[in-house]
Amino acid sequence: MKITTTAGLDQKADVLVLGILDETKTLKNSVLQKDLEDALKEKVLHKEKFGEVFVTKNNGLPYHNVVFLALGKKKELTLEKVRRALGKAVKAVRTLRQPSFTTDILDLVKDQFDAEQLGTAAAESLLLANYSFIKYLSEERKEKITLLEMVSLQWSGNVAALGSGLKIGRVIGESSNFVRDLVNDSASVVNSVYMEKIAKQVAASSPKISMKVLGEAEMKKLGMGSLLGVNLGSANPPKLILLEYKGGSGKPVALVGKGITFDSGGYNLKPTKYIEDMKTDMAGSAAVLGTIKAAAQLGIKKNILGVMPMCENMVSSHAQRPGDIVKAYNGKTIEIGNTDAEGRLVLADAMAYADDKYNPEYMVTLATLTGACVVALGYYAAAVMGKDDRLISSLKEAGMNSGDRVWELPFYDEYQDWMNGSISDLNNISQKGKGYEAGSVTAGVFLSKFVEKAKWAHLDIAGSAYWCVDGDYLCKGATGSGVRVLLYYLMGK
């Protein structure tokens, strides 16, 4: 999708989308003014109802359609609301089956935001809203889906500043969509070997990225029994993919993403309604890959280490059993209380190895780790936890600014021994109370035992990575959650 800026509205576009603020009294064009008055009088449009869309009758203007989009009170607008408004605009035009639109929305709010930030948010949402996962649709079905080719933004402010924001936003949007494609795809395609192939392509895209992959034999030698145990039932080989992005000097920020290409639950098999979406259990690793790819394109001036432990949690006569005891890279032994709590097991070795060998200053883990997180927060925030308050506040701020929100869960001292084992150092499920209390926090507590040196925080993206509902600029399915919060964090915005 091409995004252009023009001083006025672009008469060559197919659709005109006009933002209607609560304060809007008159429109320049008298025909549209009449349309607006009628729509308000007939109560088919409410200026105060943010996001309400009304398609006017065609009135001899050079557009196929004119759309009014209510924006509410100007003072109450935020960058996230701008994203949502543009997302609504994209979706309305896609529903009208037109390939392009022009809009005054950004220009209406230009005095309220920094032009570069506004451009970034705009491009992000335009690209995210113009996404559909169509890989497996027949030509006939594909034809029914309209993707926009061009959006023209009216802009009378600083063109260079908006333009530089649009460029940043395009990278963020495209890398999020790259992640969505990986997460939406079938687990029969996206296995560890496939992820290695895609990671190789990412590494080849920039001279600043280098890649190393540890295979089964090497991991055995290194004593990564925790990760290896999870993959025992799978026909696909386990892989620990490491990507180094060199954008600056100093210790790296390590990003460690859960990469379970399918989570059947193992012998603690998941039931119907829980197992179907488990191809998405590699969303953390995909978000790490997308972030590294974008970091290189954006030229982020930091060193970043991407760590992707790739495994598949399957059932077979070789698979790990409940009650098995494994030993992790850092020497800690773990009793497998439940084979479905596998994410923490693969992260454990990946974290301990990264902490030991790469000496990161910060480490952020990203994982579709717990069903408890979906219960607690639903889709619209990832959970964040850890012991480093500064890192957590930076991530919270990045979440707020990017719209890829994070919500802190308490990491109280009382929980810190809940994962201790009785015949092993640790158990992979909580050993206190009924076992399920504070399930996302106890999973985080388990992870914390595998990082010693780095300042660490953990993002549970179980709910935010994959939606069962449509949003304003996102849609059902994979969201690319993690990429936006991490990039805003790394860009320091």
Three-state DSSP state, 141: helix
From the CB of residue 143, how many other CB atoms can be counted at a distance below 10 Å? 9
Rounded Cα–Cα distance for residues 298 and 303 (Å): 13
Least separation in angstroms between residue 265's CB and Zn ion is 5
Q: What Rg value do the Cα atoms of the chain yield, rounded?
A: 24
Residue 107 binds to Zn ion (criterion: CB under 5 A): no
Among the residue ranges 130-138, 225-233, 366-374, 414-422, the one whose residues contact ligand BES (CB under 6 A): 366-374
Q: Which of 110, 200, 270, 387 is catalytic?
A: 270
Min dist. Cβ of residue 379 to ligand BES (A): 11
Q: How far is the CB of 375 from Zn ion (least distance, A)?
A: 15
β-partners of residue 308 are 241
Q: Which residue lies nearest ligand BES, judged by its C-beta?
A: 371
Map residues 266-285 to x or -, x wherever contact with ligand BES holds by CB under 6 A: ---------------x----
**Which one, 1 or 406, has the nearer CB to ligand BES?**
406
312 binds ligand BES (CB under 6 A): no
Contact by Cβ (8 Å): 336, 323: yes
For residue 319, give the nearest of 220, 232, 235 by alpha carbon.
Answer: 232
Does residue 368 belong to the site contacting ligand BES (CB under 6 A)? Answer: yes
Report the nearest approach of ligand BES to the CB of residue 257 (Å). 13
The tokens of 253 are what? 């920020």
By CB under 6 A, how many residues form the interface with ligand BES?
16
Q: With respect to ligand BES, which residue has the nearer C-beta, 116 or 263?
A: 263
* Residue-by-residue DSSP string for 365-377: EEE---HHHHHHH
CA angle 184, 190, 195 (to 5 degrees): 115
Contact 329, 224 (CB under 8 A): yes
Rule CB under 5 A: say whether 281 interacts with Zn ion. Answer: yes
Give yes or no for a contact between 459 and 383, defined as CB atoms under 8 angstroms apart: yes
Give the x-and-dash track for 327-346 against ligand BES (CB under 6 A): -----------x-xxxx---
Is 374 one of the binding residues for ligand BES (CB under 6 A)?
Answer: yes
Q: How many CB atoms sit inside 10 A of residue 109's CB? A: 20
- 258/293 with CB nearer ligand BES: 258
Residue pointed to by tokens 């030698």: 221
Beta carbon of residue 356, minimum distance to Zn ion (angstroms, whole number): 24
The option from Zn ion, ligand BES, none interacting with 336 (CB < 5 to 8 A, set by class) reads: none
State in angstroms the smallest separation of the CB of 366 from Zn ion: 13
The catalytically annotated residue of 47, 83, 279, 344 is: 344
Applying CB under 6 A, among 124, 181, 263, 355 the residue interacting with ligand BES is 263
Q: Bridge-partner residues for 335, per DSSP?
A: 325, 427
Site residues (CB under 5 A) for Zn ion, limited to 371-430: none
Minimum Å gap between C-beta 265 and ligand BES is 6
Draw the binding track, 249-268, toward Zn ion (x: CB under 5 A; -: no contact): -----------x--x-----
Asked if 404 touches ligand BES (CB under 6 A), the answer is no
Q: Is 84 tagged catalytic?
A: no
The interface with ligand BES within residues 127-186 (CB under 6 A) comprises none
Question: Does 35 engage in binding with Zn ion (CB under 5 A)?
Answer: no
- Choice between 90 and 385, CB closer to ligand BES: 385
Dihedral-angle region of residue 310 (phi above 0 means left; psi in -120 to 50 means alpha; beta otherwise): beta
d(CA 261, CA 146): 30
Beta strand ranges found along 117-251 (DSSP E): 150-154, 209-214, 239-246
Collect all residues with Cβ–Cβ distance below 8 Å to 173 and sequence separation of at least 6: 123, 124, 125, 126, 127, 128
Asked if residues 230 and 311 have their Cβ atoms less than 8 Å apart, the reply is: yes
Torsion, CA 172, CA 398, CA 460, CA 424, rounded to 10 = 120
Q: Torsions phi, psi of 48, nearest 5?
A: -80, -15
Indicate the residue among 166 and 367 with the shorter CB distance to ligand BES: 367
How far apart are alpha carbons 440 and 434 in whole angstroms? 14
In the bound complex, what is the minimum distance in angstroms from residue 174's beta carbon to ligand BES?
Answer: 25
Can you tell me the distance from the alpha carbon of 266 to that of 320, in angstroms, rounded to the nearest whole number? 8
Judge contact between 367 and 460, C-beta under 8 A: yes
Q: Which of 247, 343, 444, 482 binds Zn ion (CB under 5 A)?
A: 343
452: left (phi over 0), alpha (psi -120 to 50) or beta: alpha
We find the least distance from the C-beta atom of residue 345 to ligand BES, in angstroms, to be 9
Note whether 462 binds ligand BES by CB under 6 A: yes
370 binds, among ligand BES, Zn ion, none (CB under 5 to 8 A by kind): ligand BES
Residue 372 partner contact from ligand BES, Zn ion, none using kind-dependent CB cut-offs of 5 to 8 Å: ligand BES
Concerning whether 270 is annotated as a catalytic residue, the answer is: yes
Q: Around Cβ 440, how many Cβ atoms within 10 Å?
A: 23
Site string for Zn ion, 38-67 (x = CB under 5 A): ------------------------------
Binding partner of residue 314 among ligand BES, Zn ion, none, CB under 5 to 8 Å per kind? none
What tokens appear for 108 in the block? 């209406």
* Residues in contact with ligand BES by the rule CB under 6 A: 263, 281, 338, 340-343, 368-372, 374, 429, 439, 462
Binding site for Zn ion (CB under 5 A): 260, 263, 281, 340, 342-343
- Active-site residues, by number, are 270, 344
